[in-house]
Amino acid sequence: MEEKDLESLVKAVQKAVFVELEASGRHVHVTEAEAQRLFGHGLTPKRPLSQPGQYLANERVTVIGPKGEFQNVAVLGPERKEAQVEISLTDARTLGITPPVRLSGDVRNTPGAVLVGNQGKVTLEQGVIIAQRHIHMTPESSKAMGVRDQQVVRLQVFTQRPLIFEEVQVRVSPQFATYVHLDYDEANACGFQPGDLGRILP
Amino acid sequence: MEEKDLESLVKAVQKAVFVELEASGRHVHVTEAEAQRLFGHGLTPKRPLSQPGQYLANERVTVIGPKGEFQNVAVLGPERKEAQVEISLTDARTLGITPPVRLSGDVRNTPGAVLVGNQGKVTLEQGVIIAQRHIHMTPESSKAMGVRDQQVVRLQVFTQRPLIFEEVQVRVSPQFATYVHLDYDEANACGFQPGDLGRILP
């Protein structure tokens, strides 16, 4: 076998076995109308994220809770139909709120927060969640790994402080790239470094 | 079987199978000489900790790193032969240092920090660690659970965000009470609540 064939074989096997980890810091999603109020214009892309079409915006906000605030918080684009603030449990303590652990998009009966941009302020009645750990997956990865959309799996991570995350939700879409998303508490608990890999356990 | 016999049987089985979890926030150990410099006297107990003889002191310090500081940090007594500052990875980022993950007492070649008390200041050349997760265990628990001192085990935690910690170090001593010690990153990553239990996996 030639060197480059071997290399592509190894890569194919890796792709069928391992999923790259990513840590999501605290961030905010806003609607078009909210972007107008906060910044006087729609979101503008600073750099693309791993998920196709998603980007880190140039715009930043302050997130204010009853007990504390975070300045300079990342806003992710494009705009969504509903605002969402994703923070860690550590962050929640600082803000003084107790959001539930939820999958992105499920914001019913969650606490709110105040967002402040360079042009204005928005008071969210709800929308603050602790993002449930999940795996974004292409249909190809889903097939290769033998898991389906909505499946809940155990994920072993090969990190400095190795552990196995239970109850990790798989989400499959042709719009996704295959990555595990952890929050910073989870990333720190396992000693995550960029490039670290995980493996779905049978 | 009588009610109270059943109860004590259940408790005995629980003790042989489950270990209670505890989360350690950031804290500091100091020597007698350092306590004198920081507070003008030795440490005084505010309340006992789960480990016999250990206590939370009335005295508090500010811990200062190159990039940030934490005020009002807990000091644990009694005094030790060597100072030690135990923080989480999240805390380390705030202070601007990169301590290794170590077992308590192993502070060779670790970064230092500045401690400030109400009477004086101490500059530690070394002593800052991220505490490696571990299980304090009585000889009785060790026997009941079939694990020995220094053994590295996997620990499944029954928490809101369940997971399995790998590479958890067992420490057995007649001076210990049986508890798992996690740092706040780990506690938040698994959604720890006081009273939560873990189980050593075979």
Contact list in A for residue B132 (CB cut-off 8 A) is 161
Mean pLDDT, range B92-103, rounded to an integer? 95
As a whole number, the mean pLDDT across chain A is 95
Q: Indicate if the pLDDT at residue B1 is higher than 80.
A: no
Q: Indicate if the pLDDT at residue A6 is higher than 90.
A: no
Size of chain B in residues: 202
Is A188–B164 a contact, with Cβ atoms under 8 angstroms apart?
no
Is A163–B160 a contact, with Cβ atoms under 8 angstroms apart?
no
- ipTM of the predicted structure? 0.79
Q: Indicate if the pLDDT at residue A137 is higher than 70.
A: yes
Task: Give A113→chain B minimum CA distance, Å.
Answer: 21
**CA quadruple A196, A184, A49, A152: dihedral sign:** positive
What pLDDT is stored for residue A161 in this prediction? 95
Instruction: Output the six-digit token pair for A140.
Output: 């190809």
Distance from C-alpha of B103 to C-alpha of B152, rounded to nearest angstrom: 12
Q: Indicate if the pLDDT at residue B129 is higher than 80.
A: yes
Is B164–A162 a contact, with Cβ atoms under 8 angstroms apart?
no
Which residue in A has a C-alpha nearest to residue B155's C-alpha?
A163
Output the CA–CA distances (angstroms, integers) from residue A141 to A9, A19, A200, B41, in the order listed. Answer: 15, 9, 12, 63
Q: What is the pLDDT of residues A17-76, one digit of tens each?
A: 899 999 999 999 999 999 999 999 999 999 999 999 999 999 999 999 999 999 999 999
CB proximity list for B76: less than 8 A, separation 6 or greater: B27, B28, B29, B49, B54, B55, B56, B57
CB proximity list for B98: less than 8 A, separation 6 or greater: B92, B111
What pLDDT is stored for residue A145 in this prediction? 92
Mean pLDDT, range A105-111, rounded to an integer? 95
Asked if residues B115 and B62 have their Cβ atoms less than 8 Å apart, the reply is yes
Q: Indicate if the pLDDT at residue A2 is higher than 80.
A: no
Q: Indicate if the pLDDT at residue A12 is higher than 90.
A: no
Distance from C-alpha of A59 to C-alpha of B143, rounded to nearest angstrom: 58
**Type and span of the H or E element at A98:** none
Distance from C-alpha of A105 to C-alpha of B163, rounded to nearest angstrom: 24
Local confidence band at A7 (pLDDT 50, 70, 90 cut-offs) = confident
Q: Indicate if the pLDDT at residue B92 is higher than 80.
A: yes
Asked if residues B26 and B91 have their Cβ atoms less than 8 Å apart, the reply is yes
Name the residue among A132, A166, A184 with its Cβ closest to that of B164: A166
Local confidence band at A1 (pLDDT 50, 70, 90 cut-offs) = low
pTM: 0.85
In this structure, of B10-14, B35-39, B59-63, the range with the lowest mean pLDDT score is: B10-14
Phi, psi of A194 (to 5 degrees): -55, 135
Is A164–B166 a contact, with Cβ atoms under 8 angstroms apart?
yes
Contact list in A for residue B163 (CB cut-off 8 A) is 163-166
What pLDDT is stored for residue A5 in this prediction? 84
Q: What torsion do the CA atoms of A15, A150, A55, A160 make, to the nearest 10 degrees?
A: -50
Name the residue among A156, A160, A185 with its Cβ closest to that of B189: A185
What pLDDT is stored for residue B9 in this prediction? 83
Task: Give A168→chain B minimum CA distance, Å.
Answer: 9
Task: Give B201→chain A minimum CA distance, Å.
Answer: 12
Could you tell me which of A111, A131, A126 has the C-alpha nearest to residue A171? A131
Contact list in A for residue B184 (CB cut-off 8 A) is 90
Mean pLDDT, range A141-164, rounded to an integer? 95
Name the residue among B101, B161, B163 with its Cβ closest to that of A191: B101
In this structure, of A56-70, A81-95, B4-18, B29-43, the range with the lowest mean pLDDT score is: B4-18
